[in-house]
Amino acid sequence: MTANKQKMSKREIRQRIKKAVKTEDGIIATLISSKFSAFLLYFIGPSSITPNQVSVFSLILSFIAAYLLYLGEYWALVAGAIMIQVHFIFDCLDGELARFHERPSIYGGWLDQMIDRISEFLFIMGLTWGIYNQTGDWWLWPLGSMAFFSLFMYYFSDAAISPLIRREQEKGKDVEVPASMAQTGAATTADVLGDSLVSRMKRILVKMGVKGSFLSTILGRDMQLFMISLAAVTNLTVPLFIFFSTVLNAYWILRSYRYWVRRIAA
C-alpha cells in the first residue's frame, strides 16, 4: 500500500466510492450488484489491487461457474448460478476501481469487454453441456450456439455502429443511440412500444432507483446473466435460449437495418 493510499481518510474513500459507482445502470446492477461491489470497493479501493487484476479474477470466476454448470447436478447448477452473480459483481468492481482512482484506460476497457464475451460463451456452453448431460438431447447444442451468437451479435452490432453514431452526433445530426451505449432515453423502444407505455415503464424504474434506458434495463448484461442464473436453477434453459435467439437477434438485425436504410436515404 502506498503512502498516498494510507493517508486516504474514510470520508474520502466514501466520496470516491459515490463517484465510482454508476448512477445509471440496469435493474439488477443498480439494486443488487452495485451494493456488493461498493462494499468491496471500500476495502479494495485504498489497496494496491489494480482494475485489471480484478478483471482477470472475474474471468477465473467465470471458468469456475461454467465448470459447475457443466456438471449438470442440481447442486452444481445452483452453485454455478451463484458464481455467475459473483462474477458480475467483480465485473462491476473493475470499472468502479478504475473510476475510484480516476484512472480509466483504453486497455482496461478492452480487457473488460473481452472478458465479458468470453464469460458469456463459457456460461452458455457450460449450461448447454450440463443440460445435455442430464437429457442427452442433441438439439441443445445448435440452440445453445444460436443463443450465444445472438448475445455476441447484440454487442458486436452496437460496437460496430457506435463509432459511426458518435461521428454523426459530432456533426450535429439527430441519430438513434444503441441500447448498450445509451444513458437516457430509448428511441427504438419507443418506436416499438409507444411513447406513453415506455414513459410509464421508465417512471416505475426511476422510482426503484434505475435511471438507465429501458432497453439497457431489460436487455443489459446484468439482466442477461441474471436470466442465465435463473434458467440454471429453474430448468428453463430451453425457453431462455429461445428468448435470446429471437429477441436479441431481432434487436441487432432491426438496428442494423434501420441504420443502413438511414444511410441509404442520406
Lowest mean pLDDT among 8-17, 57-66, 225-234: 8-17
**In the structure grid, which three cell numbers stand for residue 97, read together?**
476501481
Residue 238, amino acid? V
- Domain enclosing residue 253, as ranges: 3-265
Tens of pLDDT, residues 71-119: 999 999 999 999 999 999 999 999 899 988 888 888 888 899 999 999 9
Query: For residue 66, what pLDDT band results from cuts at 50, 70 and 90?
Result: very high
* Predicted confidence band of residue 252 (pLDDT cuts 50, 70, 90): confident
Taking the C-alpha atoms of residue 54 and residue 165, their distance in angstroms, rounded to an integer, is: 31
Buried b (16+ CB within 10 A) or exposed e, 98-120: bbbeeeeeeebeebbeebbeebb
Instruction: Report the C-alpha gap between 263 and 167 in whole angstroms.
Output: 13
Looking at every residue in the chain, the average pLDDT score rounds to 80
Domain count, the chain: 1
Q: Residue 223: is its pLDDT beyond 60?
A: yes
Look up the CATH number of the domain holding residue 49. 1.20.120.1760
Residue 199 has pLDDT above 70, yes or no: no
